[in-house]
Structure 1
Amino acid sequence: MLSRTIETSQGRLAFLESSGSGTPVVFIHGNSTCRDVFRHQFETTLAATQRIIAIDLPGHGQSDDALDPQKAYTIPGYAATLIEALRSLNITRAALVGWSLGGHVSLEMIGQGFDAAGAMIIGAPPIKRGILGMVRGFQAQLDLLLATKSALNARDISRFARACVGEKHAAQLHDTIARTDRRARQILGRGLRSGLGVDQRWVVENLPTPIAVVNGSGEPFARLDYVAGISYAALWDHRCHIIDGVGHAPFLEAPERFNPLLLRFLGDIHCSRIDGTTQPQIRSVA
């Protein structure tokens, strides 16, 4: 495994990369976390056979705080910075695995024209733009408000960590949440309310990109009935997957059940794209 950095217009981004080959698999973490949440996926045979990359978003983990926070700390801003970073690494096509905020960023990247071989979204309901889209896609609960609060005290951090990854793993997130640029959460919240970015529901209902949907049965933020009720254009396995007994981060809480799904999805999308077809450009939906 290699830990590296790359320069972007928003500062240095830190990322972890395996030595595998083939179509890259890019892991995108959630709000106020970092690449380390995907450690169990880097411990699989996938890392030995496939080029997998996990990037710290601007203002998170070991990446720099954004040079232009108002632009960078929105879903479109994160997506644009990641596309820029991947192109600097000579990656123009990849499979995307996005958790929570990372799932929304993955759909935004597709909406901005990135050639995604497929996308697995976890804890990320594909929402329409604006407040109404948020209300329909997310549960109304207090812990969700912490995701858009600028300053978090120690109690807030503990509560948010438990909501994100469960009691067992919460302590491992405390320093990561505390490190996050406090401007990032507040700017993200404003952007979501104002409707910045693509219509994510339109993306999954109209584009042929294979979409895998995986959630825990105890998902605290996304409305699972809403997620299941979407008419996906290319839903992998023809169903949304639910992993019993876990919450917002099934890849961390139950990797022994999540990883086989991930490996099967990546195998299926590899086979489905051998014809060399390309992803259509859809900048008009932004």
Structure 2
Amino acid sequence: MLKIFQSNFGNISYYDMNSNSNNCLLLIHGLSCSKEIFHYLINNLYSNFRILSIDLLGHGESENSKNKKQSYSISGFADSIIELLADLKIKNLNIYGWSIGGNIALEILDKYNFIQNVILDGYSPCSYIEKNFDKVFIFNEATPLIGKNNLTKNEAKFYVSNGGLKSNSYQNEFKVDKIVENVLRADGEMREYWYKSVMNLEGISPKECVEKHRKKIKILIGEEDPGIQLNYLKENFDDISIFFKNVGHAVFWDKPEEVKKIIYTFFNVIFYI
């Protein structure tokens, strides 16, 4: 069911499916995308979970923020989601965060007391303390687009393609086109403010957060991810990481059935047919 929550900085659009379930799963999308990107997981999980899938402020059907400097950051996005979780009185929550959604998930994990477990997809936890971005990420042709205000349609298509969001046996070309529309809809100032906040190392340090909550976290990484240094994960988080061959930046997009099984297993939820 589509709902609207009035946060301090603007209305947030979100799906709330199977609200009677005690097992709640929060899905957090990546930069410039929307809640619709999780359509396959939503359709295949909602019978066993309460699904919350949110459009971040400045994305999808949510409003652009009324205070962009404060809310367009990892901490700001997390705080607006925590507002919603508190309003809904969510007490038993698992999180699946993709790309920067994984970064946001860690911020929520560190601030909200009712998190059971977290899966990070396409996100590698860097250290703000060590300032080790160059060891964690690969900077490529798409990197300048993540912080750019105005994107052309061709740039949006390249951004989506570089993220590994291409048509496959689970996702058709129409779904890919919708993601391109999402990127073009996203508030360009959001990208600018978010990028500045990351460069200023605002919020919790991801690596140290994962080390603190290690038993609660699983990391899913495509071996063809164009933006992540695999060796860093193998050296630091091999025990909690799962690597997928022939997969790019979004494991849930290319391997949804495998991801579904991991979700049920890691979140300790029995799958009822």
Q: TM-score, normalised by structure 1?
A: 0.86
**Moved >4 Å (runs of 4+):** none
Which residue pairs with 2:170 in the alignment? Answer: none
Deviations 1:123-162 (A, max 9, x none): 1111112793322221121212211111111121010010
- Aligned equivalents of 1:133 and 1:112: distance in 2? 24
Structure 1 residues 50, 113: closer, same or farther in 2, change over 3 A? closer
The range that moved more, 96-105 or 159-168, is 159-168
Which residue pairs with 1:220 in the alignment? Answer: 226
Structure 1 residues 85, 101: closer, same or farther in 2, change over 3 A? same
What pairs with 1:111-130 in structure 2 (closer than 5 Å)?
Answer: 111-129=110-128
Which residue pairs with 1:40 in the alignment? Answer: 40
- Aligned equivalents of 2:251 and 2:60: distance in 1? 21
The letter for the 2-side match of 1:11 is G
> How far has the Cα of 1:208 moved from its partner?
5.2
Confirm or deny that 1:70 pairs with 2:31. Answer: no
The question of whether the paired residues in 1 share the 8 Å contact of 2:126 and 2:133 is answered with: yes
The question of whether the paired residues in 2 share the 8 Å contact of 1:79 and 1:109 is answered with: yes
Confirm or deny that 1:8 pairs with 2:3. Answer: no
Structure 1 residues 41, 229: closer, same or farther in 2, change over 3 A? same
- Aligned equivalents of 1:12 and 1:185: distance in 2? 19
Which residue pairs with 2:53 in the alignment? Answer: 54
Q: Structure 2: any 5+ residue segments left out of the alignment? A: 168-172
Percent of aligned positions that are identical = 22
Which residue pairs with 1:26 in the alignment? Answer: 26
C-alpha RMSD of matched pairs (Å): 1.9
Structure 1 residues 118, 105: closer, same or farther in 2, change over 3 A? same
The question of whether the paired residues in 2 share the 8 Å contact of 1:33 and 1:177 is answered with: yes
Deviations 1:194-235 (A, max 9, x none): 110001111111235510111112111122221222258xxx
What pairs with 1:262-281 in structure 2 (closer than 5 Å)?
Answer: 262-267=263-268
- Aligned equivalents of 2:160 and 2:245: distance in 1? 20
Which residue pairs with 1:245 in the alignment? Answer: 246
Aligned residues: 262
What pairs with 1:60-209 in structure 2 (closer than 5 Å)?
Answer: 60-129=59-128, 132-168=131-167, 170-207=176-213, 209=215
Q: Structure 1: any 5+ residue segments left out of the alignment? A: 233-237, 271-286
The range that moved more, 247-256 or 201-210, is 201-210
> How far has the Cα of 1:10 moved from its partner?
1.2
The question of whether the paired residues in 1 share the 8 Å contact of 2:22 and 2:92 is answered with: no
